[in-house]
């Protein structure tokens, strides 16, 4: 599949493209460390978000503990600076099969898509860390930007609407990552450009997986309810508008998903 064909549904889904002003800031050599470090942490946060969804909505207690153990080396590195590239080399594996709760109507669907997503995001984490080490860029934990928080604050407080909202947000974050990698690739060196382009296929699939899950959860709920329905199309439209506003308005904290540099 060509890059343009891969990006077409992403660009149709998003309400705006990455502003040129952000690209102009991102291409500055002095900003490469913050781009890479924030990208590294974004990969971990994407994996964590998928893990939290599985733990909250899908798995039994033993599987919950297996997921926590899977993440521990990565979180120890990111938040406590324990370990290094070599110690993470063989850590991207689950110790046991992940089993859905008996009372979760969408547990297996969440597990099937989210476990694969987690494996890929943790692999990307390792790849970014490897690029940083090869370039002599030291890892330092940094504060999160406004982007994800600006989306999450609009999540409804009751279920299953909250789950549907979280899945839609996941779709937008993955779609924006895909679009931004493609937009940034022409402005960086060949190694980084090739790496960013190599991520497009998985990011595009992740966006679609999240959106499909949101539609499946809503459809299952709507079939059981006569009075209250979840309007997925309306929530997708709503979060698309919120996401575009975060991307196109001034932002004084330059990060991988930040808005227009203030």
How do residues 160-170 score in pLDDT, each as one tens digit?
A: 999 999 999 99
- CA separation, residue 131 to residues 4, 180, 249 (Å): 26, 18, 31
Instruction: Return the pLDDT at 4.
Output: 82
- How many CB atoms lie under 10 A from the CB of residue 251? 20
pLDDT tens column, 202-220: 999 999 999 999 999 998 8
State yes or no: pLDDT of 1 exceeds 60.
no
Chain segment 93-110, per-residue pLDDT in tens: 987 788 888 777 888 889
**Measured CA angle at 236 (ends 243, 54), to 5 deg:** 90
The residues pairing with 260 across neighbouring beta strands, listed in sequence order, are 250
Instruction: Kindly list the domain boundaries of the chain, sorted by start residue.
Output: 18-251
Residue 95 vs residue 253, higher pLDDT: 253
Cβ pair 125, 40 in contact under 8 A: yes
How high is the pLDDT of residue 245? 98
Q: H or E element: which one contains 260?
A: strand 260-261
Query: Which spans in the chain are helix H?
Result: 3-13, 20-26, 32-57, 61-80, 107-134, 147-152, 161-184, 190-224, 232-248
pLDDT at residue 226 is higher than 80: no
DSSP assigned state of 86? T
**Mean pLDDT of all residues in 1-15:** 88
What confidence category does residue 60 fall into, taking pLDDT thresholds of 50, 70 and 90?
A: confident
pLDDT reading at 52 higher than 60: yes
CA 174 to centroid of chain Cα atoms: 5
3-state DSSP assignment of residue 76? helix
Tell me the mean pLDDT in the region 26-55. Answer: 96
Apex 260 CA angle, 259 and 262, nearest 5: 115
Report phi then psi at 250, rounded to 5.
-60, 140
Architecture of domain 18-251 in CATH?
Up-down Bundle (1.20)
């Amino acid at each position: 599949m060509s890059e343009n064909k891969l990006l077409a549904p992403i660009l149709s889904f998003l309400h705006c493209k990455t502003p040129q002003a952000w690209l102009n800031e991102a291409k500055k050599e002095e900003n490469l460390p913050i781009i890479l470090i924030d990208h590294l942490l974004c990969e971990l946060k994407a994996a964590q978000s998928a893990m939290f969804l599985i733990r909250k909505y899908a798995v039994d207690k033993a599987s919950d503990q297996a997921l926590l153990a899977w993440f521990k080396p990565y979180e120890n590195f990111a938040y406590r600076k324990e370990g290094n590239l070599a110690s993470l080399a063989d850590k991207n594996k689950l110790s046991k099969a992940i089993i859905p709760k008996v009372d979760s109507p969408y547990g297996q669907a969440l597990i099937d898509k989210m476990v694969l997503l987690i494996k890929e995001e943790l692999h990307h984490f390792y790849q970014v860390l490897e690029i940083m080490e090869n370039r002599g860029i030291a890892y330092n934990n940094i504060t999160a930007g406004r982007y994800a928080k600006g989306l999450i604050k609009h999540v409804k407080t009751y279920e299953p609407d909250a789950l549907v909202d979280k899945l839609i947000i996941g779709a937008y974050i993955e779609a924006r990552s895909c679009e931004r990698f493609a937009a940034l690739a022409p402005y960086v060196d060949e190694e980084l450009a090739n790496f960013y382009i190599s991520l497009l296929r998985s990011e595009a699939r992740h966006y679609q997986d999240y959106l499909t899950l949101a539609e499946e959860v809503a459809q299952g709920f709507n079939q059981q309810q006569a009075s209250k329905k979840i309007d997925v199309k309306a929530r997708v439209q709503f979060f698309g508008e919120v996401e575009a506003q975060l991307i196109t308005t001034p932002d004084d904290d330059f990060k991988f998903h930040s808005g227009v540099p203030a």
